[in-house]
Amino acid sequence: MRLRGPSFPGKPSSRRLQASLEQMHVRLLAVGGGFLVLFGAVSLKLAFATVLMPMAPEQRQIAPQVPDIPKSDPKGQIAGDFALPNVHRATIVDRNGQTLALSLPVAQVYANPMEMIDPADAAKKLRAVLPQLDEAETIRRLSLKKQFVYLARDIAPVQEIAINNLGIPGIYFEPGERRHYPLGRTAAQILGSVDIDDHGIAGVERHFDQRLNTDRTPLRLSLDVRVQAVARDVLQDAVAEFQPIGAAAIVMDVRTGEVLAMVSLPDFDANDFAHADPNARFNRAVTGVYEPGSTFKLQTAAMGLQYGVIHIWDRFSTTPIHIGRFTISDMKTDHFAPYLALPDVLAKSSNPAAAHIALDVGATRQQEWLKTMGFFDRVPIELPEAARPIIPSRANWGVSAVMTVGFGHGVAEPPLAIVRATAAAVNGGILVTPTLLAKTPDADTPVSDGAPALTSPSGAPIRPAVYAPAAESADADEVPNGTRVLSEENSTLLRKMLRLDVTQGTGKTAEVPGYYVGGKTGTAEKIGPHGGYLKHVNISAFTSIFPMNAPRYAVYVMLDAPHATPRTYGFTTAAWNAAPTVGKIISRIAPILGMFPDTKDAARIGAELAIPLEPRVPAGYRALGPGNDPGDPRAAAQRKAAEARTAHLARHSVKRG
């Protein structure tokens, strides 16, 4: 047997092994180089993705971000069409496009504790972004054996991005939206609020809830935030001066019924509805019901004229009327004449005289009139809080009720009902429906102001709905849309008498030169908590219209239990507080609405609106007055007594015969 020895270098087998090893080394270098290039590319990609050019977070992890900053729009022409993307509830704007309510994109932060690595570290990092977060409570939640826990609600997009950049495993976001009211207290009771699920719970938000959640087109209200701000500012000054427990102011277009301003004080920040005091959430303009006092004498005069029961030259007794243990009288300082003609009754605001007019009309027609004027029902306005009035039952509507209702006692109405009826008295006799929706031009009517046409993001044309001032409005002879309740002739008479109340009557302090204000004061004693009227505790109100030569706006102010001041000489009646407040509002809002004082034609306009306090009785007419007052309860009693005496004498004559 032959054994082989070891191979030695230089021999053929050794050379083959050396070649094989060299080939293997080359391959290893090639593979290593390949891996080096691959890892380098991955490292470079990671550097770009995380440091140099970080990638946007995934949609499932972060809610939609804020939209692009809108373009400058100093004229406010496109503001009303502005809507945030990925927000479902529509914006609410005023008649000029000023945003009153909008929904902002927010996010809810939640976590899956089962994916948490270090709850304590995660809580510490989260608190650095969300300072209000309770760190100990967050650690507890992140340590639970659950797959879902909420950590924070309604965080801003910038906070959402900051948390996402922390890179904490198990932290997720849920997109949502939050209602915001950028003007705070402005029209807070009108706007109302929404709940956590974005459903309206009060005010316009509740009334138009379905529309706001299904149609993203901005909801345009009739309010003008400029007028609203002025009304609130002036009313707040009155509250500071007279210290009432509450107050209200309303501005309404008497032709369209559009409410331009509705203020109720105290009020609150609409962004903090849940924590607002119930007294502040209470809308005194539509939810509060108050005895209207002498503002109701306008209705007594209107129904008497419309039913043909009285004329402006008729005279009515101002002598106190005794009903059981009650007495209907005027203030002792008035010293009225024994009889006043109708214009003088309104100017001097006589209670017994108004009671006589109501008795002449009678209970049945009085009830019919008040029902026609809407005083038996809620005011038709787009607010769920509109209250039902308090009125006597028909069974209790006797002689005393007829008289007291005639001068505004025994019934309780929301202020907007008084404004609505006042408007009907002067706008030609049409009862319009109050509304909080802006009445825009017809859809087929082109709108052009010489500027380039505007379009919304969807491409639809934007038609600015800026409120037309009186000088540019429709023809003054245009009849308002509503139900006719008065003849034009009687409406003209009432306008003149309301103007007389400001020039020569109790409403002198409401005068604003050049605006020809007309109106009626109303002071009613408040009813105490246990029934009965409280002496020297009043509801003071003034309902007005301007300008009386071409009625366009109604302005109303009510002060609940105002206090006397040295300037009012101890009085708390409407002539000393509510009426001058109305005058201040008119002087400030009229220029905003494009109306300027007309003093140049003062003589002509004054002559057109003139009516004497004691009109002359036309030939052939016998005026109501002394000895001719069918509604006088004393005259009726005297007639019954005379009839009884006649019957008694007749019976005795028969017996003697």
**Taking every pair of C-alpha atoms in the chain, what is the biggest distance, in angstroms?**
190
> What stretch of H or E contains 528?
none
In the chain, the amino acid numbered 273 is: F
**Active-site position among 103, 264, 294, 349:** 294
Contact 343, 612 (CB under 8 A): yes
3-state secondary structure 261-279: EEEEECCCCHHHHHHCCHH
- Token code pair at residue 429: 């006799």
Q: CA-to-CA distance for 34 and 45, rounded, in angstroms?
A: 17
How does DSSP assign 187-205, residue by residue?
THHHH-EE-TTS-EEEHHH
- Token code pair at residue 86: 């990925």
Give the gyration radius of the chain's Cα atoms: 39
> What stretch of H or E contains 27?
helix 12-47
With the CA atoms of 397, 402, 404 and 405 taken in that order, what torsion angle do they form, in degrees rounded to the nearest 10? 90
Query: b/e map of 282-314 (b: 16 or more CB within 10 Å)?
Result: bbbbbbbbbbbbbbbbbbbbbbbbbeebbbbbb
143 part of the active site: no
Strands, DSSP E only, in 74-155? Answer: 92-93, 99-111, 149-155
* Cβ neighbours for 290, distance < 8 A, ≥ 6 positions apart: 412, 413, 414, 415, 524, 539, 541, 558, 560
- Among 528, 560, 577, 522, which residue's Cα sits nearest to residue 246? 560
Measured distance between the N- and C-terminal CA atoms of the chain, rounded to whole angstroms = 190
- Token code pair at residue 26: 């080359």
Contact 276, 334 (CB under 8 A): no
How does DSSP assign 473-496, residue by residue?
SS-TTPPPSSEE-S-HHHHHHHHH
- Token code pair at residue 237: 């000054």
- Token code pair at residue 245: 């427990």
Contact 465, 441 (CB under 8 A): yes
Beta bridge partners of 262: 250
In the chain, the amino acid numbered 188 is: A
Contact 615, 343 (CB under 8 A): yes
Q: CA-to-CA distance for 456 and 93, rounded, in angstroms?
A: 16
Distances in Å between the alpha carbon of 155 and those of 65, 141, 160, 166, 199? 12, 18, 7, 16, 19
In the chain, the amino acid numbered 554 is: A
Output the CA angle 203-260-559, nearest 5 degrees.
80
Q: What are phi and psi of 483, to 5 degrees?
A: -100, 130
* Cβ neighbours for 320, distance < 8 A, ≥ 6 positions apart: 327, 328, 329, 330, 352
Task: Point out the residues that are catalytic.
Answer: 294
